[in-house]
Amino acid sequence: MNKKTASRIDDMLYESGLFPSSNNINHTYNSYDFSNETILITGAAGSIGSGLTKQLINCKYKKLIVVDIAESPLYELIKELEFKDTIHIEFKLLDITNKNSIKYLFKTYKPTIIFHAAAYKHVPMMESNPHEAVKLNILGTKLLADLAREYEVKKFIFISTDKAVNPIGVMGKSKRIGELYMNYLNNNSSTKYITTRFGNIFGSNGSVIPLLKKQIEFESPLTITDESMTRLFISKQKACNLILKLASKNDLSYNLYTLNMGTPIKVIDIIKRLIALYKDVSKQPEIKVIGLRPGEKMHEEIAYQNENLIKTNDSDILAIEQQKLSSLNIDFRELQNVTAAMSNTEINNILKKYI
């Protein structure tokens, strides 16, 4: 089989016409001016975090602090930027749920803008390990957001997901609680908390498309949960560019935004296009329907019924009008007491109370 590079296959998949033209993977980005800002990125070695880092390299900024707990991916990011101007970048191997470590970071660097991309995102894995979703996605987010308020950070950009809308899985529930806390803090802090909610990042680590490509290359059956399943997709380049665009604005009227991802796409259609692109496979791949995995939905949504989508002066960005929260009905003490010894059902029931 001809081993086409992953990036070339991605380009060909986009050029096939399956994805909306407005969501082009080769979306060009602007260089934003953050000259006076010290920027902190959590989860910086992940798909969104690394994308933000690579685009910020081409922007003006005072200082950039790049944080991740994953040693090898962080090292790979450092090597990727080896020949870039990194004199004003600090790479930190750090656990954002460790209060002493993260507080030291705030004291030392005094960030003015935070992009909080660190999160556990794999839906079935979080169903099996819900205590870890609580620890990072909820308590880690709360710790970081509280310190942002304490140190009077200008802007805190929280990266959320469409799975936080009417969530059925642990991952979505944990991100929804994060959204609610951002909403609450906006009415109780001088820091501007901005939530960006979007769908699947095309080609991100662990997402469906890299998995399908590997299955084709290894001549394994291609697995799909259901032939009717749809997902919303956006390229990493475009998502990161729009996040930076929001962060650069000082006149935002809303606190929750989503990105224009076009219409939902059937995963089965992606499979068929990929098979067509790998024309030299030795045999036609088998497509195996395996059923919904724990925590998965058949179709994702981008907004609740009581949330209004508002057009902005940028066709790629939609504001989401939500009810402001002056009080919060979340017992974080109960969430702090969640442990690995508790059953998955018990933890799920706790999360259900707060969404």
The catalytic residues are 163
Query: In a 3-state reduction of DSSP, which class is residue 266?
Result: strand
**CB 297, CB 168: distance < 8 Å:** yes
Residue closest to 235 by CA, chosen among 205, 208, 203: 203
Q: Using a CB cutoff of 8 Å and minimum separation of 24, what contacts does 221-224 make? A: 221/285, 221/286, 221/287, 221/288, 222/271, 222/275, 222/285, 222/286, 222/287, 222/288, 223/288, 223/290, 224/267, 224/268, 224/271, 224/287, 224/288, 224/289, 224/290
Nearest to 199 by CA among 246, 243, 234, 242: 234
Q: How many CB atoms lie within 10 A of CB 70?
A: 15
Residues 172, 69: Cα–Cα separation, whole Å: 22
Beta carbons of 175 and 163 less than 8 angstroms apart: yes
For residue 221, the tally of other CB atoms under 10 A from its CB is 11
